[in-house]
Structure 1
Amino acid sequence: MSVGTIWTALPLRRLAERLLGRGFKVSASTLDVILRESLRLGRRKARKQMPLGHSKDRQPQFEKLAKLRAEYIAKGWPIISIDTKKKELLGRYAHDGRAWTDGQLQAFDHDFGSYSEGKAIPYGVYDTVRNEAFVYLATGSDTGELAVDAIRRWWYRLGRQSYDGVGGMLVLADCGGSNGYRVTLFRERLTWLANRLQIPIRVAHLPPYCSKYNPIDHWLFCHLSRALRGRFCESIEWMQLLFSEVTTTTGLSVVAELARKVYQSGCKASIVFRQCEATIRDEILGKYNYVFPVSK
């Protein structure tokens, strides 16, 4: 704790016993009043706010993100936030939360992956403009190919209906993972997607150590986690149903789709792409901001 901060993790009954050993007899309920009203203490838990590191590009990149978002909103072009949600073991594994039942919910007493029916990878694409989400449920490995396939499927299931004929698309992504700014396979597949859709795709990464500010974490993933509370995910089809039923009072709607392939790890970008990459990077903070143009 910080110097000068008063704190204790002892239960009130244990604290009362220690005080009794020093000649002070006081009940636990009286101690509660003293701590709160006289010492002005409160029961608090640790807050996960300390970043693992700091990037000198943090403020400039956030200013860049705000400028890009305002520009694309003014033009009526799509802005999507992408990321992989926590992978889920398939089987009778316990999730936090309770359910109404006249029986008992029996789950495995250990979360050993060797007893599972597989592992589901929920990859999310969240439309920050229309408050719509697409969840691509895949198996295998979380790869750059999976990330771009999720964007492609979002376009054909949701995006094309609302943004047909637009002149660009903005993709907000974290710095690491399958959609990180160093993942060459992710860029190669986005180059292919831009040409297939005939839409220039701009990618803007959040600064390092700032993934919690990705819009998809706060506007989609928290609600997907709520859908799993008190339930088992014994199959990927059942997870698809649960995610498809997610709604919020602000109007969020979710479409969940199963991948038709198993994504393999170890896939790399082609030598031709690495030698002749057509990515157009910004002059300032180009490693985080770049565009995939449409080939003529």
Structure 2
Amino acid sequence: MIPTYFGKCKAIFIETIHKLKGSDKRKALAEIAKALGKGGQSIVAKEFTVSRNTIRKGRFELRGISIVDAFNARGRNRVEVKLPNLLTDITDVIDTQSQTDPDFGTTRLFTRMTVREVRKQLIEQKGYTDDELPVNQTLNNKINKLGYRLQKVQKAKPLKKIAETDEIFEHLKKVHDANKDKDNLVRISIDTKDRVKIGNFSRGGKSRNLVKANDHDFGGDYVTPFGILDLMRDHLELVLTETKAIADFMVDCIEAYWCKHYLHIKDTLIINADNGPENSSRRTQFMKRLIEFAAKHHVKVILAYYPPYHSKYNPVERTWGRLEQHWNGAILDSMDAVLGFAKSMTWKGKNPTVSLSDNVYETGVKVEKSIIITMKS
């Protein structure tokens, strides 16, 4: 046995052999087995925790027979190597039918689509064949790694559903598909987050540092974030206001964003929104301001609303979960703290553009009936 020959040096000897790589290691193990004589191969395999096949290869190499270590040939290539556009196509298929967590407790996305439905849509929409697509288990793994959860999750279901919900989703998809390849077009998603209370209050998160917050959260200082998610550039812009996020504020933010990035470059703007009270197509002040914006800058504006009670499908909603996870555990006791944490969050690997609006907007603004008649005509 090896201990008979090496005694206390056994551990050092084994460690030294294992530091060798490839052919050198196999030849050394074969030499030891040969020196031990009958049964040497089994002894070496046990003591050095290697397979006897490794020692056999070493014996061939001692006789001058070359064995190539083709490590790069082991296993199968990932499906992305064979189908380089697959992950992008999966995202394109699923994304329009995915929503964020209604409570913003996670950044994962929830979808109503099964793996079989994703496979079917890849074949129908993207031109894949059933044979070239991977098996459903592999497809499921790829979808999970992209951040989508395919199981039905009770909390992700909307509370209500109107009769026209499916038709609205279908129309929304037609609008997106009809315009997605146009070079003159910009698509943005807009939404207002719930008001954020400013003060020495706990937000329920965790911190590596000891942070003490008040045992109550009474206070009258708030800030409301308004988000513009540019779906053409994967860029997020946040505008914070200490007043209510009314229709005039929203259109001012949209106009400022357009003038900063696309003025005289593009001529069509698709706005995804949730049909809330201030940005609804029934909100005359919002529609009046959009018409003025479109006429002033010669922009064609297309409003693409999500169905009622389905606002969580609006892409910008996904950024609120990222923001909540980012600043939970922190004390947002000043406007500087709110701005600092908002600026340091990341979306798709990039920091958002964050600003504070110092404009004061008058609430309850109504459009005169004569102007409404003109708008309708």
- CA, structure 1 residues 164+133, in 2 after alignment: closer, same or farther (shift >3 Å)? farther
Provide the residue aligned with 1:131 in structure 2.
234
Identity of aligned residues (%): 26
Mapped partners of 2:323, 2:157: distance in 1 = 25
Mapped partners of 2:180, 2:264: distance in 1 = 15
- CA, structure 1 residues 277+56, in 2 after alignment: closer, same or farther (shift >3 Å)? same
Greater percentage in helix = 2
Other structure's SS at 1:48 match:
helix
- CA, structure 1 residues 75+63, in 2 after alignment: closer, same or farther (shift >3 Å)? same
The residue type equivalent to 2:330 in the other structure is: R
Mapped partners of 1:226, 1:98: distance in 2 = 10
Asked if 1:47 corresponds to 2:154, the answer is: yes
Per-residue deviation, 1:221: 1.4
Match of 2:212 among 102, 106, 118: 106
Mapped partners of 1:189, 1:208: distance in 2 = 23
Match of 2:273 among 170, 173, 177: 173
Mapped partners of 1:156, 1:246: distance in 2 = 25
Q: Which stretch shows the higher mean deviation, 221-230 or 129-138?
A: 221-230
Mapped partners of 2:311, 2:345: distance in 1 = 23
Per-residue deviation, 1:121: 0.9
Moved over 6 A (4+): none
CA RMSD of aligned residues (A): 2.0
Provide the residue aligned with 2:309 in structure 1.
209
- CA, structure 1 residues 121+130, in 2 after alignment: closer, same or farther (shift >3 Å)? same
Structure 1 unaligned spans of 5+: 1-45, 280-296
Provide TM-score, normalisation by structure 2: 0.56
Provide the residue aligned with 2:10 in structure 1.
none
Provide the residue aligned with 2:367 in structure 1.
269
Provide TM-score, normalisation by structure 1: 0.70
Per-residue deviation, 1:164: 4.2
1:125-164 → structure 2 map (5 Å cutoff): 125-157=228-260, 159-160=261-262, 164=264
Mapped partners of 1:164, 1:224: distance in 2 = 32
Structure 2 unaligned spans of 5+: 1-152
Provide the residue aligned with 1:58 in structure 2.
165
Other structure's SS at 2:278 match:
helix
Mapped partners of 1:52, 1:221: distance in 2 = 20
Alignment check: 8 A CA contact 1:54 1:209 kept:
yes
Mapped partners of 1:192, 1:83: distance in 2 = 21
Provide the residue aligned with 1:243 in structure 2.
342
Mapped partners of 1:111, 1:177: distance in 2 = 27
Q: Highest relative contact order (Cα 8 Å, sep 6+), 1 or 2?
A: 1
Provide the residue aligned with 2:38 in structure 1.
none
Larger Rg: 2
Equivalent pairs, count: 224
Asked if 1:233 corresponds to 2:332, the answer is: yes
Per-residue deviation, 1:151: 1.0
Alignment check: 8 A CA contact 1:81 1:214 kept:
yes
Mapped partners of 1:253, 1:89: distance in 2 = 23
Mapped partners of 1:94, 1:156: distance in 2 = 38
Per-residue deviation, 1:50: 4.2
